[in-house]
Amino acid sequence: MTSSVSRPIDAAFVASKKLAPDIVSVWLEARSVAARIQPGQFVQVRVGPDEELFLRRPFSVAQQQRDRIRIVFRTVGRGTATLSLTRRGDNWNLLGPLGKPAPQFNNREIVLVGGGIGIAPLLFLAERVCRNNRVHAILGARNRQELVLHPEFRKIRVKLNLCTEDGSLGKRGLVTDILQALICSLQSAVAPVVFACGPRPMLQRVKELTRGLESYAFWEERMGCGTGICYGCAVKRDDGKGYLRLCQEGPVLRMSDIEI
Amino acid sequence: MSQEVRIGKVTFQNPILLASGTFGFGLEFPQVVRRMGGIIGKAITLKPRAGNPPPRIWEVPGGILNSVGLENPGVSEFVHSVLPRMTFGKAHVVVNVAGSTVGEYAEIIRRMDSDRIAGFELNVSCPNVRQGCIAFGQNPQTVARIVRSCRRTTSKLLITKLTANFVDPLLTARAAEQEGSDAVTLINAVSALALDAQGLPALGAGTGGLSGPAIKPLALYCVRRVAEGVKIPVIGCGGITCGLDVQEFMLAGARMVQIGSINLIDPFSGLRILAELRREESSPEKERGAS
């Protein structure tokens, strides 16, 4: 089980854009990571050369194009705030790709459910799975401003459903309301596969709604190494038999396997 | 120039060990382990332990709080399915042993009679379990009883990993030395508390152990204090991130060092630190920054 993790690399910052007041999109030139990364996997980013912000920050990848990867994140603390100020000429020190790729499917009905910043890793997944599956994407956020990346989803072959809690874009309501209706309406002979990424209450509801279906969560937990050696990112198993290591078994986990 | 170091009956190819709990059992990065003096795997307990609820890790300025809670498969499963895979060439395997009773330490060691194991590190200092470990390590008499029973059980290398928490480590180090410990490790993570934005304990288990550069000055202090007061070698541990840090610990009196938290930032840190140490040892001009 020797890890295929390579040494960290310095990825050149290419461009960044503010998508919402506290949501930033960054493109990085990272050939070795871009060549290998699969939907579901993540990278660990060093914030500074000094040791004050000691741990790396784990980020999922929102898009991969040729030698570049795109990371879309919300600024929630000092680390992400520092990273949001990156300029041309700066590098991001990356460790990755880490974690397991999301499971792959062919000729299936795939439903992607993204809430808030949870939309980001689903874009990368959507771009890949739409090649050989029928894909529905249900994306939601608190308001129009925070419903990011939907223009990118419009460029690929997915049936798009948008919603906001205040009704400023798409339907008024929650992604899980749309999911419930969609599951009932799907007439496919083969059951759909659901991937969800978003806040914990949303994932809890998705788990309830998809009982009996194959459903996966893009899960988050406070993380140490990202490489399996520190046992920091524990996720409670649903069968009561202890914990999973998110960075090894995940970050995309079968919903029935974990306590949400 | 040879970097070999001898402790007890064991010769290590260089003075750098991977600290317990910070590198799994070495199976993810064997190419790194092989180049080190050795690896001290995750602590092994008598029975399997699921570990503590998340969050298990929390960043603080210059360091980390962790409360993994000694998640491990227990001694039987370890011997059966993990130990056989721990083959790392010239790098030695040292097993960290954690008991919830005084008697358990020797009991665990008795069940690990394997040539793959160069020695044992007695964990009387983990701050993240309800019973044993740090509670034992704060009492010199208890440390003495544990070391004595383990010394009777094995002729292999015996290291005692001590705490600096609410105890003078010189007293516990002397107790360990008197009962036949071949070396002492100083220091384990220090008991600490972090609160989240709501003012509640940030870690799932409530409190945790502070490690990383934030504790380096404390570790250096303990190493010097103990190295001046015992004859057995001291293994320094606490916030080492570079070759210069290793040299500082050596100057403070350490014979070997362990690197821990930095492995979480880069699992290849051991290789870098080893290279830096070689470079610094071969250059006459040493520059040591204030730290």
Evaluate whether residue A235 is within a structural domain. Answer: no
pLDDT at B287: 54
Query: In the predicted model, is pLDDT for residue B289 greater than 90?
Result: no
A229–B267: do the CB atoms touch at under 8 Å? yes
Evaluate whether residue A210 is within a structural domain. Answer: yes
**Is residue A42 located within the same domain as residue A67?**
yes
Share of chain B above pLDDT 90, in %: 90
Domain membership of residue A17 as a residue range: 9-98
Average pLDDT, chain A: 95
Single out the residue in A98, A118, A134 at which a domain terminates: A98
B83 has which bridge partners? none
Evaluate whether residue B219 is within a structural domain. Answer: yes
Domain membership of residue B31 as a residue range: 5-52+69-191+212-282
Evaluate whether residue A3 is within a structural domain. Answer: no
What does the block give as tokens for B271? 């290789």
Single out the residue in A98, A129, A161 at which a domain terminates: A98
Q: What chain A residue is nearest to B212 in terms of C-alpha separation?
A: A54
Evaluate whether residue B130 is within a structural domain. Answer: yes
Phi and psi torsions of A60, nearest 5°: -80, 170
pLDDT at B280: 82
A230–B57: do the CB atoms touch at under 8 Å? yes
Average pLDDT, chain B: 94
B24–A229: do the CB atoms touch at under 8 Å? yes
B29–A227: do the CB atoms touch at under 8 Å? yes
| Mutate: best of A55, A229, A246, partner B, most B CBs <10 A | A229
Cβ contact A196:A215 at 8 Å: yes
For the stretch B229-271, pLDDT in tens is: 999 999 999 999 999 999 999 999 999 999 999 999 999 999 9
**Is residue A40 located within the same domain as residue A83?**
yes
Give the CATH number for residue B227: 3.20.20.70
Percent helix, percent strand, percent coil in chain A, to nearest 5:
25, 35, 40
| Mutate: best of B59, B67, B244, B269, partner A, most A CBs <10 A | B59
What pTM value is reported for the model?
Answer: 0.94
CA of A8 vs chain B CAs: smallest distance (Å): 7
Strands (E), chain A: 9-20, 23-29, 42-46, 57-60, 63-65, 68-74, 91-98, 109-115, 134-141, 159-164, 171-172, 193-197, 214-218, 234-236, 243-245, 252-254
A143: confidence class by pLDDT, cuts 50, 70, 90: very high
Evaluate whether residue A243 is within a structural domain. Answer: no
Phi and psi torsions of A149, nearest 5°: 70, 0
Residue reference for tokens 């500082």: B248
A228–B28: do the CB atoms touch at under 8 Å? yes
B51–A230: do the CB atoms touch at under 8 Å? no
**Is residue A118 located within the same domain as residue A204?**
yes
Instruction: Note if the bond before A49 is cis, omega within 30 degrees.
Output: no
Evaluate whether residue A142 is within a structural domain. Answer: yes
Count how many domains chain A has. 2
Model-level ipTM above the cut of 0.90: yes
Measured between alpha carbons, how far is B78 from B283 in angstroms, rounded to an integer?
A: 43
Measure CA A146 to chain center: 16
Rounded average pLDDT over A139-162? 97
B68–A243: do the CB atoms touch at under 8 Å? no
Radius of gyration of chain B from Cα atoms?
18
Whether residue B126 lies in the annotated active site = yes
- In chain B, which residue ranges form alpha helices assigned H by DSSP? 30-33, 75-77, 104-110, 134-137, 140-153, 169-178, 216-227, 243-252, 262-265, 269-282
CA of A1 vs chain B CAs: smallest distance (Å): 6
Rounded average pLDDT over A162-184? 95
Nearest to B59 among A1, A54, A236 (CB): A54
Chain B residues near residue A8 by CB distance under 8 angstroms: 266, 268
Q: What chain A residue is nearest to B271 in terms of C-alpha separation?
A: A7
Residue reference for tokens 């040879």: B2
Give the CATH number for residue A17: 2.40.30.10
Evaluate whether residue B205 is within a structural domain. Answer: no
Evaluate whether residue B187 is within a structural domain. Answer: yes
For the stretch B33-54, pLDDT in tens is: 999 999 999 999 999 999 999 9
Question: Are β-strands A91-98 and A9-20 bridged in parallel, bridged antiparallel, or unpaired?
Answer: antiparallel
Chain A residues near residue B59 by CB distance under 8 angstroms: 53-55, 79
pLDDT at A1: 47
**Is residue A116 located within the same domain as residue A208?**
yes
Measured between alpha carbons, how far is B282 from B19 in angstroms, rounded to an integer?
A: 26
pLDDT at B133: 74
Nearest to A120 by CA among A141, A106, A136: A141
Evaluate whether residue A246 is within a structural domain. Answer: no
Q: Is A135 on the interface with B (CB under 8 A)?
A: no
**Is residue A204 located within the same domain as residue A120?**
yes
**Is residue A144 located within the same domain as residue A187?**
yes
| Mutate: best of B25, B47, B56, B210, partner A, most A CBs <10 A | B56
pLDDT at B126: 82
pLDDT at A84: 94
Cβ contact B165:B121 at 8 Å: no
Evaluate whether residue A204 is within a structural domain. Answer: yes
**Is residue A92 located within the same domain as residue A115?**
no
Q: Is B68 on the interface with A (CB under 8 A)?
A: yes
Count how many domains chain B has. 1
Measured between alpha carbons, how far is B256 from B185 in angstroms, rounded to an integer?
A: 9
Which residues lie closer than 8 Å to B82 by C-beta, 6 or more apart? B25, B27, B41, B73
A243–B71: do the CB atoms touch at under 8 Å? yes
Evaluate whether residue A72 is within a structural domain. Answer: yes
**Is residue A119 located within the same domain as residue A89?**
no
What does the block give as tokens for B208? 């945790």
Residue reference for tokens 């960043």: B59
pLDDT at B291: 43
CB pairs under 8 A between A and B: 116
Evaluate whether residue B204 is within a structural domain. Answer: no
Give the CATH number for residue A189: 3.40.50.80
Amino acid at B128: N
Instruction: Give burial (CB, 10 Å; 0-12/13-18/19+) of A191.
Output: middle
**Is residue A16 located within the same domain as residue A90?**
yes
Angle between helix B169-178 and B216-227 (nearest 10): 50
Chain A residues near residue B31 by CB distance under 8 angstroms: 2
Q: Which one of the listed residues B126, B133, B222, B237 is annotated catalytic?
A: B126
Chain B residues near residue A234 by CB distance under 8 angstroms: 51-54, 56, 68, 71
For the stretch A1-50, pLDDT in tens is: 456 899 999 999 999 999 999 999 999 999 999 999 999 999 999 998 78
| Range A12-48 burial, b when 16+ CB lie within 10 A, else e | bbeebeebbebbbbbbbbbeebbeebbbbbbbbbbbe
Query: In the predicted model, is pLDDT for residue B31 greater than 60?
Result: yes
Q: Is A101 on the interface with B (CB under 8 A)?
A: no
Evaluate whether residue B173 is within a structural domain. Answer: yes
Measure CA B66 to chain center: 14
Helix, strand, or coil (residue A237): strand
Q: Is B267 on the interface with A (CB under 8 A)?
A: yes
Evaluate whether residue B203 is within a structural domain. Answer: no
Cβ contact A202:B242 at 8 Å: no
Evaluate whether residue B277 is within a structural domain. Answer: yes
Chain B residues near residue A51 by CB distance under 8 angstroms: 62, 212-213, 241
